[in-house]
Every structure is written in structure tokens, then in C-alpha cells.
């Protein structure tokens, strides 16, 4: 287990250096694009793609080693299920072969760890049920643990977030008074109620010109009918003044 932990630490160091190189190459690619050097930028981009592949590969190897390490710790506590090491051994052999071309030293150490585990399996015979080591996606129990961890993180995030402001009370809008102008009436609308005020006019209202003509006609009727000259003069005056009669001038 100690050797496995050391190799895991070495893989993490290599991954860190590759990530630093990835950032440096990206900056170089950006600088080349600024200088209109497309060929150099393309070379850097291709190299970045290869570096990213190595980073992803080492990350998967690190996860696989972490799996084996956790399983070994569990087996150390529960020695009656050593048979569960078989899937871990197969996984470790596969990782060791894939890592041989990239990091031969680490691959060699993993092979030694694999040999030790294999010897332990040969010397121990214990019956067990299905393998409990997870390979590939998480099993249903693992999914429940992941959901529980997600809920915990969500609650923790909500606790850190500030409380939302209190609800602002929205004042009710007062009804808008709308004034409606009419010819002879004035209407005031308040909500659904309408108050109308109308100026009453006399039904026998007549124009000032008509009243003056009638008054002059009445005065003429009272006078002697034998004075046609005065009536003709008044009618002529009314025609000239277009129906407007000034009583002050007529009295003179």
C-alpha cells in the first residue's frame, strides 16, 4: 500500500507539470495568433491537444489507483473478503500495461504491487459472493451516496447565500378620474360610477337678436297703425344692423 501511494503521488506531480505546460502552450498559441503567425499557432494547438490527452489519461490512472488503494484499505479491515481483490488485480494489470509506454518506472512499480496482491490471493481461499469493487459507472448504492453528497453541498451553498430581501408591499392603484367633455354637459367618471352635472337651459330660450326684434314689434303694435313711416324706418334699421338692435340708439 505504501508503494502504491508513492506511485500515486508521482502521477499527480506529472499531471501538475503537464497542466502547467498546457497553460504555457495556450499562452504561446494566443500570442502567435495576435502576431498573425497561424502556422505556429496551429503547431501549439496540436501539441495542446496531445497534452490534454495525456492529462486525461493520467487522471484516469490516478482514479484507478485510488480505487485499488481504497479497496486494499477495506480488505485490511475485513480480511474475510480477500477474494474481492481479483477485480482490483485485473484493473491494476490493465493500468500497468497502458502506463508502460508513458511512465515505465511507475508501470514497473505497479507490476510489483500486482505481484504481491496475486501472491496474497494464491495463499488465501475464501468464498464470497459478487464482487463489490466498482468498475465503470457507480452502482445503485454508489448513486445514492452521490445524491446524498450533492444534497449536502446544495444545502451548504444555500446556507452561504444571503437571504433574499423581504417582499415589498405593492400599493393599490387609486382609480384614475377621467373627465369627459360634452357639448352641454360635464361628466366626471370615478371608477364605475359617473356623476353628471348639466346646465339646464330654458326651453323658451331665444337669441338676443330675436328678443330685440320681438320687443320692437310689440312696441310697433302698440303704436298707431297709421304711422307706417316709423315701422319702415325700424325695419330698415334692423336689416342694416343684421338683426342686432341697440335699444339705446332706438330710444334716441
Q: Please tell me whether residues 21 and 110 are part of one structural domain.
A: yes
Confidence of residue 247 (pLDDT cuts 50, 70, 90): low
Closest-CA residue to 237 (of 224, 221, 222, 220): 220
Domain count, the chain: 2
Q: Do residue 96 and residue 214 come from a single domain?
A: no
Query: Can you give the pLDDT at residue 141?
Result: 56
Mean pLDDT to the nearest integer, 16-40 = 85
Judgement on whether residues 229 and 105 belong to the same structural domain of the protein: no
- Secondary structure of the chain in HEC code, one letter for each residue: CHHHHHHHHHHHHHHHHHHHHHHHHHHHHHHHHHCCCHHHHHHHHHHHHHHHHHHHHHHHHHHHHHHHHHHHHHHHHCHHHHHHHHHHHHHHHHHHHHHCCCCHHHHHHHHHHHHHHHHHHHHCCCCCCCCCCCCCCCCHHHHHHHHHHHHHHHHHHHHHCCCCCCCCCCCCCCCCCEEEECCCEEEEEECCEEEEEECCCCCCCCCHHHHHHHHHHHHHHHCCCCCHHHHHHHHHHHHHCCCCCCHHHHHC
Does residue 175 belong to any structural domain of this protein? no
The pLDDT-based confidence of 193 (bands split at 50, 70, 90) is very low
234 lies in which domain range?
209-251
| Residue 193 within a domain | no
pLDDT value at 176 more than 70:
no
Same-domain pairing of 8 and 118: yes
Give me the pLDDT at residue 195, please: 41
Kindly state whether residue 183 falls inside one of the protein's structural domains: no
Asked if the structure places residue 54 within a domain, the reply is yes
Last residue of some domain: 123, 143, 163? 143
- What would the mean pLDDT of 217-245 be, rounded to a whole number? 63
Give the pLDDT mean for 217-232: 54
- When pLDDT is averaged across residues 176-192 and rounded to a whole number, the result is 47
Most confident of 134-143, 160-169, 177-186, 227-236: 227-236
- Answer whether residue 96 is part of any domain: yes
- pLDDT higher than threshold 70 for residue 123: no
pTM: 0.41
* Residue 127 covered by a domain: yes
- Shared-domain flag, residues 213 and 139: no
Q: Which of 42-51, 68-77, 89-98, 136-145 shows the lowest mean pLDDT across its residues?
A: 136-145
Amino acid at each position: 500500500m505504501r508503494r502504491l501511494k508513492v506511485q500515486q503521488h508521482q502521477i499527480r506531480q506529472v499531471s501538475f507539470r503537464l497542466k502547467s505546460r498546457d497553460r504555457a502552450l495556450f499562452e504561446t498559441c494566443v500570442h502567435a495568433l495576435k502576431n498573425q503567425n497561424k502556422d505556429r499557432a496551429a503547431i501549439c494547438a496540436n501539441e495542446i491537444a496531445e497534452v490534454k490527452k495525456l492529462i486525461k489519461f493520467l487522471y484516469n490512472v490516478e482514479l484507478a489507483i485510488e480505487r485499488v488503494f481504497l479497496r486494499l484499505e477495506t480488505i485490511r479491515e475485513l480480511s474475510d473478503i480477500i477474494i474481492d481483490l481479483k477485480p482490483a488485480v485485473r484493473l491494476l494489470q490493465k493500468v500497468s500495461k497502458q502506463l508502460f509506454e508513458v511512465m515505465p518506472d511507475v508501470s514497473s512499480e505497479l507490476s510489483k504491487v500486482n505481484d504481491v496482491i496475486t501472491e496474497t490471493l494464491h495463499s488465501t481461499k475464501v468464498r464470497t459472493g459478487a464482487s463489490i469493487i466498482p468498475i465503470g459507472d457507480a452502482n445503485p448504492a454508489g448513486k445514492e451516496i452521490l445524491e446524498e453528497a450533492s444534497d449536502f453541498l446544495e444545502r451548504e451553498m444555500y446556507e452561504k447565500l444571503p437571504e433574499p430581501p423581504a417582499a415589498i408591499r405593492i400599493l393599490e392603484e387609486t382609480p384614475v378620474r377621467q373627465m369627459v367633455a360634452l357639448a352641454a354637459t360635464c361628466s366626471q367618471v370615478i371608477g364605475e360610477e359617473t356623476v353628471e352635472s348639466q346646465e339646464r337651459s330654458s326651453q323658451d330660450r331665444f337669441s338676443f337678436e330675436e328678443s330685440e326684434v320681438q320687443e320692437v314689434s310689440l312696441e310697433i303694435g302698440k303704436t298707431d297703425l297709421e304711422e307706417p313711416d316709423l315701422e319702415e324706418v325700424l325695419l330698415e334699421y334692423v336689416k342694416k344692423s343684421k338683426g342686432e338692435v341697440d335699444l339705446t340708439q332706438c330710444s334716441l
